[in-house]
Amino acid sequence: MSSNAFDLSGKVALVTGANTGIGQGIAVALARAGADIAVVARSDASETQKLVEAEGVRAHLISADLSSIEPCDRIVSETLDALGRIDILVNNAGIIRREDALDFSEEDWDAVMNVNLKVLFFLSQKVARHMTDWASQDGTRGKIVNIASMLTFQGGIRVPSYTASKSGVGGLTKLMANEWAPKGINVNAIAPGYIATNNTAALQADETRNRQIMERIPEGRWGDPADIGGAAVFLASDAANYVQGHILPVDGGWLAR
């Protein structure tokens, strides 16, 4: 272990949905801590690549549509071919669909559940198989960090499949920690509060909802994707070796109010 428990030098992190927003903020923070980054995104992630490489580490772009598990094997094999191993997996990719529960469609239900929950599990499974091998061979611990939500704890409104999926992320985080901790893998999650990203653009633009949200946040502001980076570095580092199955809110105090 490095004398700096937060040092990720020599580690390789695979971050999904890393082209923008929270995923980009996490990728840059992990790179700043020394990790090489496999940047997985459906759309152009060249900006993230430049930001990562500016930290003096390697960035490898992988184009993949995570609406199904079809690309999961390729994502893992490309990362191993390009960067040699996977020490850290950040399951950040996610989508949201908004509609009253009375009118919510099966199509919107399946789309959100596939990306936010099904792919998260099966990509974790594939990566964990390699992590357990490395842990048994050389004692290297694997780190899986899932991105949960305030709606892992709360019900929300007009986002039934998102709420269901993020509640599921909380449960899966604990299950995977239970099974994989003895195999040398730490599994935890970050629950971002209200972060200014594309996913929350509609809320930011809604004058009434934006005011209601701001009034409840003790910090008095929307979060920035970079605010999630420190939590990701902690959970991905040796400093969190005894942290298992935890869901860490990074919410400006929203849940405390």
- For residue 3, the model assigns a pLDDT of 79
Q: Answer yes or no: is 149 within a domain.
A: yes
Report CA 133 to chain centroid distance, whole Å: 23
Q: Answer yes or no: is 36 within a domain.
A: yes
Assess whether pLDDT exceeds 90 at residue 164.
yes
Q: Answer yes or no: is 28 within a domain.
A: yes
Number of domains in the chain: 1
The backbone torsions φ and ψ at residue 201, rounded to the nearest 5 degrees and listed phi first, read -60, -40
Q: Answer yes or no: is 257 within a domain.
A: no
* Mean pLDDT on 161-168: 98
Give the CATH number of the domain where residue 221 resides.
Answer: 3.40.50.720
Assess whether pLDDT exceeds 80 at residue 2.
no
Strand partners, 88: 13, 143
Q: Provide the pLDDT confidence category of residue 198 given band limits of 50, 70 and 90.
A: confident
Q: Answer yes or no: is 2 within a domain.
A: no
Q: Provide the pLDDT confidence category of residue 1 given band limits of 50, 70 and 90.
A: low
Q: Are 117 and 171 in contact (CB under 8 A)?
A: no
Instruction: Quick: pLDDT tens for 45-73.
Output: 999 999 999 999 999 999 999 999 999 99
Q: Which residue has the tokens 């430049």?
A: 50
Measured between alpha carbons, how far apart are the two ends of the chain, in Å? 38
Helices marked H in the chain — which ranges?
Answer: 21-32, 46-53, 72-83, 106-113, 119-138, 160-180, 201-205, 207-216, 225-236
Q: Answer yes or no: is 255 within a domain.
A: no
Instruction: Quick: pLDDT tens for 8-26.
Output: 999 999 999 999 999 999 9
* Mean pLDDT on 135-155: 97
Instruction: Quick: pLDDT tens for 71-118.
Output: 999 999 999 999 999 999 999 999 999 999 999 999 999 999 999 999
Q: Which of 8, 7, 37 is nearest to 23 (CA)?
A: 37
Does the annotation count 162 as an active-site position?
Answer: yes
Q: Are 255 and 150 in contact (CB under 8 A)?
A: yes
Strand partners, 63: 41
Determine the number of helices (DSSP H) and then strands (DSSP E) in the chain: 9, 7
| Active-site annotation holder among 20, 39, 162, 223 | 162
Tokens of 223: 């979060």
Assess whether pLDDT exceeds 90 at residue 202.
no
The backbone torsions φ and ψ at residue 25, rounded to the nearest 5 degrees and listed phi first, read -60, -40
- 3 state DSSP class of 18: coil
Q: Answer yes or no: is 1 within a domain.
A: no
Structural domain boundaries, residue 151: 12-248
Q: Answer yes or no: is 3 within a domain.
A: no
